[in-house]
Structure 1
């Protein structure tokens, strides 16, 4: 009996009846080290249109509405041994990288590690305004259900419900436009 006859088994430990493939890892430790260094030293996406009055107004609204509670503007890198140029640097990811209950509308009912099916890690917003250019689409949220920044905001529930409701009911159309202009500047 042969357990595996395709390249799908490559890199897996041999079974009782080995598949005769070379089971050495496909990626060398050196390649992993180089990719790790590359990712650790990538630059933060540059903000655009920072002098635009609507963008500046939107940044203030972002904080006042409560978005910055989870999408925190400032973080600081830790110390990276051997790479002082990226150690202890302030940067603007617009995330707290924490899990938050986003309510039943975004729940998928599938827990992952410590996250319940209603909890999601706050994604960084940096580069949000470049998403369509780089990825060729502008679908947002964990499953791509939101087709715009406004729609993504309106899907927020659970812990983010108060901020969503302020966006939805307390802001004028011009204020919502300014907030979206700010987010596109990231």
Structure 2
């Protein structure tokens, strides 16, 4: 149920589920591999709520590169904490979703409007 909600709410517009690796990799074992990063690895304007006003490289002060979501359920185990977003302000995945603005606003609004069972299912999927 959570995976369907992830798709239906529009999260996949930035958190692209899968890619196939390219042919011309130095290590042939890595060529044509299906990977599931749940990211498009692109910069997106996330709105004023997440903006820090600091341009870095190609990113303006309100743009962030979509982080891969694969393995996000292991954050506490691996890092010893559950801090999310670029500055660690979100303590849960629900908070991280609710901080989305700008290009992520529509998906955030769909998540916020969903009932508790659907929100829980989506977070459990992540």
**Both structures adopt the same fold (TM-score exceeding 0.5):** yes
RMSD over equivalenced CA pairs, Å: 0.7
Please, which of 160, 169, 172 is the counterpart of residue 115 of structure 2?
Answer: 172
**Using the alignment, how far apart are the partners of 1:88 and 1:111 within structure 2?**
35
TM-score (norm 1): 0.66
Q: 1:1-186 residue pairs with structure 2 within 5 A?
A: 57-78=1-22, 79-81=24-26, 83-169=27-113, 171-183=114-126
> Which ranges of structure 2 fall in alignment gaps of 5 or more residues?
none
Quote how far apart the aligned CAs of 1:116 are.
0.3
Quote how far apart the aligned CAs of 1:80 are.
1.2
**Using the alignment, how far apart are the partners of 1:77 and 1:145 within structure 2?**
33
> Which ranges of structure 1 fall in alignment gaps of 5 or more residues?
1-56
Greater RCO structure (CA 8 Å; 6+ sep)? 2
Name the larger-Rg structure. 1
Quote how far apart the aligned CAs of 1:106 are.
0.3
Between Structure 1 and Structure 2, how many residues are aligned? 125
Name the SS for the 2:103 alignment partner. Answer: helix
TM-score (norm 2): 0.97
Would you identify which runs of 4 or more consecutive aligned residues in structure 1 move more than 4 Å?
Answer: none
Quote how far apart the aligned CAs of 1:133 are.
0.4
Quote how far apart the aligned CAs of 1:119 are.
0.3
Quote how far apart the aligned CAs of 1:70 are.
0.3
Quote how far apart the aligned CAs of 1:113 are.
1.4
